[in-house]
């Protein structure tokens, strides 16, 4: 496979798994196009044209040094200049894939957060409330990212002649869909303890348990009933607004499964009696990456995991 084929496959898989459905994505892109059409010529020049076709602007091709047939890929959750040097040491690496966004993928992280509004709405939070509370948070994330050294790793890849892409929300979508399919069919009278055990059966979490990073109860008691379990925090860029928990409780959500949670959010969830299970960050990111990497493996590509990726193959 060529880099562009790998990338297109990832975007397609991300769309297939997206909670908004293909129709929802089409609406999202159509709106971008309409906005683009209204821009002045100068604004159009500055506009990131990929936004018209790619609904996941945090998943990008960042550097192509040599557009060749890809046979061996170094894949990590966080790729930094150290991993680029590592690729050089290992040798015969045709492409490097980072899960967390880099370069223009990082600069556009906030763009994918709108997805959270739709997901919350599907769980019964009114869209106006979700959009109102998320707006503030999306702006906060955009400002926070602004100060970062976006191109650092991309520059390293370019200097050492490595192809580099990042696949963030596309893979988080795969993890979210996998967890939703696995968990939401369970009985709402199931206890937190049972939900925790169910997660621990998933190989990535089982592996993370061995080094102390397994699924944990952040809010709630093992004995408590789950109520309606929601997978609202696995995909959509990064954590949403802490003010949402109260609204989620009103909407009928009993337990949420997330990758990670800030202290402020934990307190809000607690105050709203929402149980929180934190599945684990690297392990959840690995789950989403693995579901995509399996597709590449099927095509004969060799995967070299690094930087926190717990590689589990579901092929065969």
- Contacts with Fe ion by CB under 5 A lie at 285
Rounded to whole angstroms, the Cα distance separating 264 from 316 reads 43
Q: In this complex, which beta carbon is closest to Fe ion, that of residue 200 or of residue 281?
A: 281
Rounded to whole angstroms, the Cα distance separating 255 from 218 reads 11
Closest CB 286 distance from Fe ion, rounded Å: 10
Closest CB 186 distance from Fe ion, rounded Å: 25
Closest CB 150 distance from Fe ion, rounded Å: 17
Rounded to whole angstroms, the Cα distance separating 295 from 301 reads 9
Q: In this complex, which beta carbon is closest to Fe ion, that of residue 268 or of residue 285?
A: 285
Q: In this complex, which beta carbon is closest to Fe ion, that of residue 118 or of residue 172?
A: 172
Rounded to whole angstroms, the Cα distance separating 63 from 77 reads 17
Q: In this complex, which beta carbon is closest to Fe ion, that of residue 255 or of residue 284?
A: 284
Q: Which residue lies nearest Fe ion, judged by its C-beta? A: 285
Closest CB 221 distance from Fe ion, rounded Å: 27
Closest CB 285 distance from Fe ion, rounded Å: 4
60 backbone φψ class: left, alpha, beta (φ>0; ψ -120 to 50): beta
Q: What are the b/e assignments for 255-268, b being 16+ CB within 10 Å?
A: bbbbbbbeeebbeb
Q: In this complex, which beta carbon is closest to Fe ion, that of residue 120 or of residue 282?
A: 282
Closest CB 168 distance from Fe ion, rounded Å: 7
- How crowded is residue 314: how many other Cβ atoms within 10 Å of its Cβ? 11
CA 106 and chain centroid, separation: 12
Report whether 138 contacts 114 (CB < 8 A).
yes
How many residues can be counted in the chain?
Answer: 316
Q: In this complex, which beta carbon is closest to Fe ion, that of residue 118 or of residue 285?
A: 285
């Amino acid at each position: 496979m060529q880099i562009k084929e790998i990338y297109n496959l990832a975007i397609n898989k991300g769309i297939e798994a997206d909670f908004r459905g293909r129709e929802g994505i089409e609406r999202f892109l159509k709106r971008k196009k309409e906005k683009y059409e209204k821009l002045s010529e100068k604004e159009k020049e500055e506009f990131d044209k990929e936004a018209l076709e790619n609904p996941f602007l945090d998943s990008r091709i960042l550097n192509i040094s040599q557009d060749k047939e890809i046979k061996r890929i170094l894949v990590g959750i966080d790729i930094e200049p150290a991993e680029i040097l590592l690729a050089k040491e290992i040798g015969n690496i045709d492409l490097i894939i980072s899960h967390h966004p880099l370069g223009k993928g990082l600069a556009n992280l906030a763009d994918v957060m709108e997805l959270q509004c739709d997901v919350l709405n599907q769980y019964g939070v009114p869209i106006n409330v979700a959009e109102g509370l998320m707006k503030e948070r999306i702006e906060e994330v955009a400002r926070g990212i602004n100060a970062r050294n976006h191109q650092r790793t991309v520059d390293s890849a370019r200097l050492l002649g490595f192809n580099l892409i990042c696949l963030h929300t596309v893979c988080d979508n795969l993890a979210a869909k996998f967890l939703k399919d696995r968990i939401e069919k369970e009985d709402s009278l199931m206890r937190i303890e049972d939900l925790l055990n169910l997660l621990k059966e998933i190989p990535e979490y089982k592996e993370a348990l061995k080094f102390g990073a397994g699924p944990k109860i952040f809010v709630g008691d093992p004995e408590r009933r789950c109520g309606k379990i929601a997978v609202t925090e696995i995909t959509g860029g990064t954590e949403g607004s802490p003010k949402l928990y109260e609204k989620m409780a009103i909407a009928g959500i009993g337990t949420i499964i997330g990758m990670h949670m800030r202290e402020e959010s934990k307190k809000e969830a607690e105050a709203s009696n929402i149980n929180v299970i934190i599945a684990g960050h690297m392990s959840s990111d690995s789950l989403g990456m693995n579901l995509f990497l399996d597709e590449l493996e099927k095509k004969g590509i060799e995967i070299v995991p690094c930087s926190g990726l717990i590689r589990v193959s579901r092929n065969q």
